[in-house]
Amino acid sequence: MDNVKVFRTGVEGLDTLVGELYPPYTVLVAGHPGSGKTTLAASICYFNTVKGNKCLYVTVYEEKEKFYRFMEKLGLRFRDVEEKGLFKFIRFPLALDVDKALEVISKTVSEESFDIVVVDSVTALIDVLKLDIEKRALLLNYFYQLPTITNGLLILIAELPHSREALDLGSAEFIADAVIILKNVIEEGFAIRLMEIRKVRGKPIHIAEVPFTMVENKGVKIYVPPILEEIPKQKEEIYLPCRYLNEKIGHVHKDFVVNIFSPPETVYGKDALLLLLSMAIKYNLKILVISYISSPATLRETLTLFLHDYGIEENLAAKILDNYVVLKGINPYAQSLTELASKELELIDQYNPDIVVFHGVHVIKHDYVKYFRELYNQILYLKYRGIGIVRIGNCVNEERCADEASISDLTFKIERIVKESGYDFIVKIFRRFRDPQIVSSREIRLCLEEAINDIKNRLEKIRI
């Protein structure tokens, strides 16, 4: 078994869906013009050359230097693997006789023992033979036999006309062990890329369609939400920096989902961020705050002044924030809902936080059914990675708040109370599997003081 070849796509997320590729194996990558077919095929080729496998790239479209320059921007350095003898680029003009092209491929493969062959594109070769049924059948039979001859991996690239999702490649789709369709679609007025896993031989397809992007220096990246059966075990216990809250709700877990709902008129949140900051210092956690309503500069100034009000010098407050908090702002309407979810995950991958705070979630008013599905998948994915989630926003719609509370572990709902002397508030606390609790404004103020004192005490023991 030590000598058995095993290939992988090398694309994060896609490997989860298609698994390991054991030769002989054929992957058909089809898609709309500009959808990323060449990049995906090249990514699979490059990943496996880095692992020591030899890849032959045959194309009727690409210029070698242009191909190399574009791929280098995505982190695929084909010049390096070519120098090591692990990659070869061959370009055939469309006018070349197909028999001659196949003869050159066969000779190159047999003489240099390539493990992987990429053909870009099989559609162009088939189109040349549209009126020659016999030669077309011979061509497809050749590709059917090629992975067996090389005991390797064959990647066929195929063109899919705009606005169509059906393949017209005869038996090409049937000879493939895996079929991946790349699409350019319009969602909420934005162009997005989707990857459909149409077929994977010997592996059940749980998730058929996922968004993907091209990331500079990283290549193709897709987001695959976890399969629902994979609801993970809870991570280690931690405690809130407040005696009153601990008495009411007990411990929490690092991967808890927490909702904090404010009255409709305004967004609270700085109190919650202060408590989270105290926990971050105590347990050495990193917090990523993604705000939909405030710029990073505004949030930073607000938190710095808030800490200053409790007796922490502004310079020291700024250093504390630099050490434990990353602040980011996103306009949720500058992209589609799918792209927004992908953008958030890019930030999470970039900063690898222990807790991610979504600030101002009430302003997101995309199609609610789709939004709720994206939200649930995102929650499961982050819990799977052991990342805690805190969502701060107004309770503008009671039904929506109830839906979101139903999939959280802990919910704080702030409610105003009118008194003769003015306004006051209480906080209703709902924790899964426990009776609801109520905390007064006085207890919250004492919590904040306790958190600040804890921060001050710990600052004396750590270097900032």
pLDDT above 80 for 276: yes
- The answer on 180 and 262 residing in a single domain is no
- The answer on 306 and 190 residing in a single domain is no
Confirm if 105 and 60 have CB atoms less than 8 A apart. Answer: no
Tokens of 129: 């033979």
- The answer on 245 and 184 residing in a single domain is no
Q: How far apart are CA 34 and CA 262, in angstroms?
A: 45
Q: How far apart are CA 117 and CA 108, in angstroms?
A: 10
Domain end residue (candidates: 224, 254, 283): 224
pLDDT above 90 for 65: yes
- The answer on 144 and 35 residing in a single domain is yes
- The answer on 282 and 171 residing in a single domain is no
Query: How long, in residues, is the chain?
Result: 464
pLDDT above 70 for 229: no
- pLDDT value, residue 133: 73
Confirm if 223 and 341 have CB atoms less than 8 A apart. Answer: yes
Q: Tell me which residue range forms the domain holding 283.
A: 230-459
- The answer on 196 and 136 residing in a single domain is yes
- What's the distance, CA 236 to chain centroid? 24
pLDDT above 80 for 98: no
- pLDDT value, residue 107: 87
- The answer on 234 and 107 residing in a single domain is no
pLDDT above 70 for 164: no
Low-confidence winner among 35-49, 58-72, 99-113, 321-335 (lowest mean pLDDT): 99-113
Q: Indicate whether 170 belongs to any domain.
A: yes
pLDDT above 80 for 189: no
Q: Indicate whether 167 belongs to any domain.
A: yes
Average pLDDT score over residue span 161-175:
64
Confirm if 378 and 361 have CB atoms less than 8 A apart. Answer: no
**Residue 200 one-letter amino acid:** V
pLDDT above 80 for 101: no
- The answer on 285 and 205 residing in a single domain is no
1 pLDDT band, cuts 50/70/90, is very low
- pLDDT value, residue 458: 84
Average pLDDT score over residue span 274-301:
94
Average pLDDT score over residue span 370-380:
86
pLDDT above 70 for 297: yes
- pLDDT value, residue 248: 86
Q: Indicate whether 8 belongs to any domain.
A: no
Domain end residue (candidates: 224, 239, 272): 224
- The answer on 208 and 176 residing in a single domain is yes
Low-confidence winner among 76-85, 231-240, 248-257, 298-307 (lowest mean pLDDT): 231-240
pLDDT above 90 for 93: no
Q: Indicate whether 4 belongs to any domain.
A: no
pLDDT above 60 for 228: no
Q: How far apart are CA 364 and CA 204, in angstroms?
A: 34
- pLDDT value, residue 358: 97
- The answer on 193 and 255 residing in a single domain is no
- pLDDT value, residue 446: 92
Average pLDDT score over residue span 316-326:
93
Low-confidence winner among 29-33, 46-50, 94-98 (lowest mean pLDDT): 94-98
- The answer on 135 and 283 residing in a single domain is no
402 pLDDT band, cuts 50/70/90, is very high
Q: Which one, of 249, 242, 266, 239, lies nearest residue 443 by Cα?
A: 242
- pLDDT value, residue 418: 85
- pLDDT value, residue 46: 97
For all residues of the chain together, what is the average pLDDT? 86
- pLDDT value, residue 230: 57
Average pLDDT score over residue span 149-155:
93
Low-confidence winner among 20-29, 41-50, 188-197 (lowest mean pLDDT): 188-197
> Terminus-to-terminus CA distance in the chain, angstroms?
53
How many CB atoms are closer than 10 A to CB 235? 16
Percent of residues, the chain, with pLDDT higher than 90: 46
- pLDDT value, residue 68: 96
Average pLDDT score over residue span 21-50:
93
Percent of residues, the chain, with pLDDT higher than 70: 91
Query: What is this structure's pTM?
Result: 0.73
> Residue 125: which CATH number?
3.40.50.300
Domain count, the chain: 2
Q: Indicate whether 112 belongs to any domain.
A: yes
Domain end residue (candidates: 205, 224, 243): 224
- The answer on 354 and 241 residing in a single domain is yes
